[in-house]
Chains A and B, each alone.
Chain A
Amino acid sequence: MLPKITVDERKCTDPLSCRKCLLICPTHVLGLGTKVGPKKFQEIPRDKFRVAGVRLEKCTVCLDCVKVCPNGAIQVSFNGGVAK
């Protein structure tokens, strides 16, 4: 059974500046990507960056990311329910 990590993008608005969850995750499950693909001659604006659960098979459901998020944007589900 794999955990599910959801990041509410209305609450997580500038992960490139914050990055607290990326740094705290003990197994480096989370990754930082962008909402849009790379475009020629364009730098992607900071508000298009997003955090996502990537290496979910390494997630221990410790909830450190949930606790560290200043905006309460991260939710981890396991076995069908929200882990608390």
Chain B
Amino acid sequence: MCIWCEKYAQGYERWYFNPANYARKLYKIRKEEAETSLEAVPQAAGGMSLLRQEFLEAWEKKDYAAMEKMKQEAEQLSWATHFGQVVTLEDTLKVIDMIYPIAIMTCLCRRSMLGLPDEENFTCMGMGAGMYKWERWPNNYRGGVQFLTPEEAKDIVTRLNKRGLVQTLFTFGTPYIGGICNCDYPDCSAIRSTLDYGIRTLLKGHHVAQIDRELCNGCASCIHRCQFKALSFSASQQKAYVDQFQCFGCGLCVTECPQDAITLVERASLPALANVW
């Protein structure tokens, strides 16, 4: 079982369907931030503040034990404060119906990775009590925020999903859920930390993709949808191939398949995958 559901679902089907995890009383007023200027932490640029200079030094020395220790510490810190889980579009739409207000804003990851101008970068959604206080941190919200009706929010995530971005829910002081991110590799810090360094700031979702090889006609239109390096094209079979241990269960490939050859199955229904997060 998903450890977050175990701890925080409180009888709901999934932890992110439990309204208590969006409740105002969980929202913590942010303290003054620890210094994350470039002089103090060069890795803070590009969303890598979880790993410091010492990590690169250990990498250079091939000190794998030290690297592993730093990774584990980073993961624990992220799980306690700010981590995400992949959610399907369907589940995201349900969450949007549960929580108010919802606003869209500039994506901090893509600003730090690409320097995208804010007007081209409104792909990040915030929700709940914190959104009433966004003006306290104007640099995080360059370009302002735009409050959305639930219908507008659903329309936007559906369009972002169509564009190829993965929906993820993020905690701000676990288990308080305050954000719906729309992520892709390599410009989302969480996907990068997870795939490139094995620091699971982004957990896999509750589903796994399965391909029906009879139905798959080998058109390959799904392959580019995968942001997690789980989909490839089998040259010998001329069909799509999914590495189910690597699949994050976002469902992006499912929606692109013209043959309806890909389905999402419950992670829990596959015993060996049930605890692969």
Taking Cβ atoms with an 8 Å cutoff, the residues of A that contact B are 1-2, 15-16, 18-19, 22-23, 28, 30-44, 49-58
Contact = CB atoms under 8 A, between A and B. Distances in A.
Contacts of A23: 114-115
Contact of A2 (B35, B48, B60): B60
Interface string B114-137: 111000000000000000000111
Determine the interface band of chain B, counting residues with CB < 8 A from chain A.
Answer: 35 or more
Interface of B: 32-40, 42-48, 56, 59-60, 111-116, 135-140, 142, 186-187, 192, 196
A40 B137 contact: yes
Given A53-B42, A54-B46, A56-B56, 4 more contacts: A22-B114, A28-B46, A40-B32, A43-B142
A57 B115 contact: no
A28 B186 contact: yes
A8 to B, nearest CB: 14
Contact of B37 (A16, A37, A56): A37
- State the 5 A-B residue pairs at the shortest beta-carbon distance, nearest first: A31-B46, A33-B45, A31-B45, A19-B115, A54-B46
Contacts of B112: 31-33
Given A1-B60, A38-B33, A55-B196, A33 B46 contact: yes
Given A2-B60, A43-B142, A55-B196, A34 B37 contact: yes
